[in-house]
Chains A and B, each alone.
Chain A
Amino acid sequence: MSRLVLSGGRLIDPTQSLDDAVDIAIEDGVVAEIGKGLSGAETLDVTGLIVAPGFIDIHVHLREPGFEYKETIETATAAAVAGGFVGVVGMPNTNPPPDTAAAVRGLMKRAESASCRVFTMGTITKGRQGEELAEMGDLVDAGVVGFSDDGDPVNDAGVMRLALDYCTMFDRPVAVHAEDRSLSNSGHMHEGAVSAELGIPAIPSVASDVMAARDLLLAEYTGGRLHLMHMSTAGEVSLLSRSKADGIKTVSGETAPHYFTLTDQAVHSFDTNAKMSPPLRSQADVDAILEGLADGTIDAIATDHAPHASHEKDSEFAAAPFGIVGLETSVGISYDTLVHSGILTPSQLIEKMSCNPAVICRIDGGTLKPGSRADLTVIDPDRRWTVDPAKFRTKGRNTPFAGRELVGDAVMTIVGGEIRFDERG
Chain B
Amino acid sequence: MTELSSRHLLGLKGLNYDDISLVLDVASAFREVIERPIRTVPTLRGWTVANLFFESSTRTRISFELAEKRLSADVVNLSAPASSASKGETLKDTARNIEAMRIDAVVVRHAASGVPHFLADAVDCTVISAGDGQHEHPTQGLLDLYTLHEQLGDLEGKRIVIVGDVRHSRVARSGIWGMTTMGASVAVCAPPTLLPSDLDAFPVDVYNNVDEAIEGADVIYTLRIQLERQQGALFPSIREYMAMYGINRSRLERARPGCLIMHPGPINRGWELDGDVADDPQSVILPQVTNGVAVRMAVLYLTAGRGTSALQKIGEPRGLGSEI
Interface residues of A (CB under 8 A from B): 185-186, 191-202, 204, 269-270, 311, 314-319
Contacts and interface: CB of A to CB of B under 8 A. Distances in A.
Nearest to A312: B90
A201 B200 CA distance: 17
Contacts of A199: 113, 132-136, 168, 170, 173
Given A192-B198, A193-B200, A202-B197, A316 B115 contact: yes
Contacts of A315: 90-92, 118
A146 B92 CA distance: 40
Contacts of B115: 316
Contacts of B200: 193
Contacts of B112: 316-319
B185 to A, nearest CB: 19
Contacts, number: 72
5 pairs of A and B residues whose beta carbons are closest in the complex: A199-B134, A270-B114, A318-B112, A199-B135, A196-B196
B45 interface: no
Contact of B231 (A186, A196, A204, A269): A186
Contact of A198 (B91, B110, B114, B118): B114
B201 interface: yes
A191 B118 CA distance: 22
A194 B135 CA distance: 11
Interface in B149-168: 168
Given A270-B117, A317-B112, A198 B135 contact: yes
A204 B197 contact: yes
A318 B133 contact: yes
B198 A198 contact: no
Contacts of A316: 91, 110, 112, 114-115, 118
A207 to B, nearest CB: 12
Contacts of A319: 91, 112
Contacts of A194: 201
A110 to B, nearest CB: 29
B140 to A, nearest CB: 14
B91 A193 contact: no
Given A186-B231, A315-B90, A270 B113 contact: yes
Contacts of A202: 197
6 contacts: A185-B231, A192-B197, A193-B201, A200-B114, A315-B118, A318-B113
Nearest to B177: A197
Interface in B166-199: 168, 170, 173, 196-199
B113 A198 contact: yes
Contact of A196 (B13, B90, B114, B201): B201
Contacts of A197: 13, 173, 201-202
Contacts of B136: 199
Given A200-B135, A270-B117, A316-B115, A195 B92 contact: no
Nearest to B117: A270
Given A192-B198, A195-B197, A270-B118, A200 B113 contact: yes
A192 B198 CA distance: 6
B133 A200 contact: yes
Given A314-B92, A316-B91, A196 B199 contact: yes
Nearest to A189: B113
Interface in B94-125: 110-115, 117-118
A376 B112 CA distance: 46
Q: Which of A194, A195, A197, A314 has its CB near the most chain B CB atoms (within 10 A)?
A: A197
A5 B133 CA distance: 60
Interface string B63-102: 0000000000000000000000000001110000000000
A307 B132 CA distance: 28
A265 B135 CA distance: 16
A298 B196 CA distance: 32
Given A196-B201, A199-B170, A311-B92, 18 more contacts: A185-B231, A192-B197, A194-B201, A195-B198, A196-B196, A196-B197, A196-B198, A199-B133, A199-B135, A199-B173, A200-B135, A202-B197, A314-B92, A315-B118, A317-B112, A317-B113, A318-B112, A318-B114
A198 B200 CA distance: 13
A341 to B, nearest CB: 29
A271 to B, nearest CB: 9
B108 to A, nearest CB: 10
Contacts of A195: 197-198
A270 B202 CA distance: 19
Contacts of B117: 269-270
A56 to B, nearest CB: 37
A316 B112 CA distance: 7
Contacts of A191: 197-198
Nearest to A186: B231
Interface in B127-150: 132-136
A369 B72 CA distance: 81
Interface in B197-212: 197-202
B53 to A, nearest CB: 15
Contacts of B90: 311, 314-315
B138 to A, nearest CB: 13
A200 B134 contact: yes
B258 to A, nearest CB: 33
Contacts of B196: 196
B202 A196 contact: yes
B21 to A, nearest CB: 24
Nearest to B133: A199
Nearest to B166: A196
Nearest to B93: A311
Nearest to A202: B197
Contacts of B118: 270, 315-317
Given A192-B198, A193-B201, A196-B201, A317 B231 contact: no
B199 to A, nearest CB: 7
A314 B118 CA distance: 9
A353 B134 CA distance: 41
Nearest to A191: B197
Nearest to A195: B197
A283 to B, nearest CB: 13
A199 B173 CA distance: 8
B201 A318 contact: no
A318 B135 contact: no
A407 B110 CA distance: 42
B121 to A, nearest CB: 9
A204 B173 CA distance: 21
A200 B111 CA distance: 10
Contacts of B133: 199-200, 318
Nearest to B92: A314
Contacts of B111: 318
Contacts of B231: 185-186
B222 to A, nearest CB: 19
